[in-house]
Structure 1
Amino acid sequence: MQKLGTYYLDVALRGSRGISTSPIRMNGKSNSLFLKSTRRKKSSHEWLQRQLHDPYVKWARVEQYRCRSAFKLLEIDDKHKILSPGMNVVDCGAAPGSWTQVLVKRCNPAINDPSQPAGSIISLDIQDFLPVEGAHILAKSDITAKETQDAVLNLLQSTDGVDAVVSDMAPSPSGFQEMDHENIVKLSYTALRFSLKTSKVGGTFLTKIWDGRLRLKMEEDLKRYYGRVQVVKPKSSRSDSAEVFLLARDFKGLKA
């Protein structure tokens, strides 16, 4: 009976225009691949619909930001006042450049208004991305690599340290929530180690994580080096997302 059902299904598909004529075994590998493909198409459709109806996506086009994530940093700064003209900031995981656009506007306005103090924005990402006027771009650069860290330090030679390190780094999602959480926390610790090496006393560290069991541990570690630590979730961060930001302020410095 099972073979007969499979046969008629195959015949029906062969007679359907535009559909593959490969046999489909209801309990075999082909069916599994078919179901996975269907799920991917459904997920892509849902993502597209969400993008089309997302007001921040539309607003990003109007304001000429490269993506909606710009509004997360804007909201955080509007509320917590972490950025100001003249600051030296390192942007980790900068592609496609929307956070860098915000940083240039708020920390390096001298490119448009000479009366304002000039800051220094260094933006890096393992991916390639287009330049942003007013920022030093280190594309195809891995923050975990010593040569990348040395390149950033060389650009900072004319300053007395970094005022803020911000990280929007995230790993490619694996589909396993716990694994994704662990991977993004590892990236955040990488950015933190860099921040500890380059920040001036009183500096700020901002990093994105996906909420999970390691968040409290990272908060405690941040409190060892920063005077104030808090969890923030801007309104532009989707409510159904596990995304949160850890904001650490008043860097205490490293004891010799």
Structure 2
Amino acid sequence: MDRITIQGLQVPKLGLGTFRLQGEPCRAAVESALALGYRHIDTAEMYANEDAVGDAVASSGIARDQIHITTKVWWQNLAPDAIRRAFDASLAKLKTDYVDFYLIHWPAPDMDLAAALRTLLSIKEQGGARAIGVCNFPVALLKQAVEQLQAPIACNQIEYHVLLGQSRLCDYAQRHGIPIVAYAPLAQGRLASYPQLQAIADKHGATPSQVALAWLLQQDNVLAIPKSGSPASQRSNLVALDLKLDDDDRAAIARLPKDQRFVNPPFAPQWDE
């Protein structure tokens, strides 16, 4: 498994996303992924599956320090006391003494970002999280966190795939040494309708999903966390780690539409800020 170093932590570039997996299917998916060699599991307070993730990790027989676990605090719980309560609840459900990344899941329109980040940093300093970060932060908010508040942001988790260009945000993150974690990296199952991707896949004896994942994983400081409930799809996603795209492939991907955003809830920030 390819890894990158983030604030001294060795984080696998390919992880397992668990959004919309709950209960027994979630537990089984995490158990399967761990058995296949995955060591990076992504969950969140809002997913209502931290208990299932915790059960799977606990029963895996794999040492806790060999598994990277990310969880997140929901945007409605960003007041300091609410963050503390949410974090304690997440740890209890995950059945662990710490998480590797603790992230703000979405920015809230009326949040006190300085207070929220101070609380996350306090959790880190007390050993509850090995690193802290954010999700769904456009450039303006990421700039505030990094430059104005000087928070040690370990990553920005964002929707990022071959159909959604994030060049401005990625450029900023790259300049400041902040890795990007790509969620919905397979464009929520919409890749098969693009013959350009199928042509690249045919050339490599691969699938469009494997091509799309490889495109992300071959970028510096980019990780990807596709959701995958079945062992077959988890195994298929692992193939992307060994798929090497060439300049012609990347040029063809660059010509795909780059304005297809599929995760845009009513409380989302202004993406172009």
TM-score bucket of the superposed structures, by smaller chain: 0.3 to 0.5
Q: Which has the larger radius of gyration?
A: 1
TM-score for the superposition, normalised by structure 2: 0.34
The TM-score, its normalising length taken from structure 1, stands at 0.36
Task: With a CA cutoff of 8 Å and minimum separation of 6, indicate the structure with the bigger relative contact order.
Answer: 2
